[in-house]
Amino acid sequence: MNEVENYISRFEPEIQSRLKIMRELFFEVLADTEESIRYKMPAYKVGKYHLYFAAYKKHIGFYPVYGLTEIEDEILVYRAKKAKDSLHFPHDKALPIDLLKKIIRLKSLLN
């Protein structure tokens, strides 16, 4: 079991399922992405940047999401209050799979 799998295994099954989906999206969009734990959360190398996610009691946080002005309208609904780079995906709502793929793809293209 690698570090990310260990991180995911610490949560309840419903949360584990959501975290596994997010993890798989990175490899689906960027097959050769590098996976690690940074700042105590799963981290994925996308281009010259990293994207992170972390589970909390009521949501999954996704960081940092900036520089994506072309999809700002799509991500606005998920923006964390008082945080310009963070998105929150509540556990009681479906993950926005297509939006997550788009974010991963676009972040990998930023210079």
Domain count, the chain: 1
34 CB contacts (<8 Å, ≥6 apart)?
44, 45
78: domain CATH number is 3.90.1150.200
pLDDT digits 0-9 by tens, 49-108: 999 999 999 999 999 998 899 999 999 999 998 888 999 999 999 999 999 999 999 999
The pTM for the full model equals 0.93
Count of positions (residues) in the chain: 111
Q: What is the extent of the structural domain holding 54?
A: 3-109
Which residues does residue 38 pair with via DSSP β-bridges, in sequence order? 41
**Model confidence band, residue 19 (pLDDT cutoffs 50, 70, 90):** very high
